[in-house]
Amino acid sequence: MTTKLAFRRGALALALTALSAGTALAQTAAPAATPPAPEHTLTANVGLFSEYIFRGISQTGGKPAVQGGFDYAHSSGFYAGTWASNISWLEDFGAYNRSSLEWDFYGGYKNAFPGQEDWNYDVGLLYYYYPGHKNPNVSSANTLELYGAVGWKWVSLKASYTLSDNYFGTRPTGEKSQGSWYWDLTATYPVPDTAWALIGHVGGLRLRNNGSGDFDADYTDWKLGASYTIPDGTVFKGLEVGAYYTDNNAKEPFYTDLTGYDTSKARGVVYVKKTF
C-alpha cells in the first residue's frame, strides 16, 4: 500500500513538473508584443554635398553645399517640414545682388492605398523661398508648387505643378511661366542583405511660355548612383555615404551663368548625410 501511494505521489509530481515546463516553454515561445507606432514623429537631417544639384541643374556653381532640415509626421499621414541649403545661382546669373540661401517649407498627406501596403500616394504643397535683394526688373525666384506622387515599394512617380507667377523667376519669352510642370521618376533599390542601395532617376521640365533656340528652357535629366548606410555597432551608425552621376539635354547657353559656368553640364556628386 505504501509503495502504491509513493508511486502515485511520484507520478503526480512528474505530471506537475511536465505541466510547469510546458507552461514555461509556451511563455518563452510567445512572441513579444509589437509596440504601437508613435502618433507624432519628429526627425532632423543634415548633409554635406560636393555640389547642390536640383532637377539636374547646379545651384552652387560647382561649389559644395551644406543642407539640413526638420520633419514632423503624424500617424494619420499628415506631415510638414522645412529644409535649407546654401546656393549661388541667383547671384551668378545676376538676378539678385545678394542671395545665398534656399529655404523650403512643405506639408502634405501620405498614406498607403487601402488594402495595398506596397502602394502609396503623396500630395502636398512646397514653397521655395529665396531671401535676398533682387535686381530691378527681375522676377522673384520664390516658387510655390503643388505636387502629387504614386509609389510602389522603392519606386515613385511624382509630378510638380507651378502655382506662383513664375517657375523660379524664369520667363524666356517675357511672359509668366505659371503652370509649368516637372515630372520625376525615382528608384532607390535596397540591395538585399546589404547596407547598399542603388539610385536611379529620370525627370523633365516642361515650361509654360517656353522660348526657342538658345532660349529653350525645357530639358530631360537623369542620374545613376549608389549609397551605403553604416550599420549599427559603430560610432557612425546611420550615416549615409553616397555618390551619383547626373546629366541632361538642357541648352547650354540658357543655363550658363555670368561667370561662364554651365550649370547644366554633366557631373559627379559625392555626399554624406545623417537623419536623427
| pLDDT tens digit sequence for 198-213 | 999 999 999 999 999 9
Rounded to two decimals, the pTM is 0.86
Ordered structural domains, the chain, with CATH: 39-275 (2.40.160.40)
On the question of pLDDT at 8 being above 60, the answer is no
On the question of pLDDT at 130 being above 70, the answer is yes
| pLDDT tens digit sequence for 214-229 | 999 999 999 999 999 9
| pLDDT tens digit sequence for 76-99 | 999 999 999 999 999 999 999 989
Q: Which grid cell sits at 202?
A: 529620370
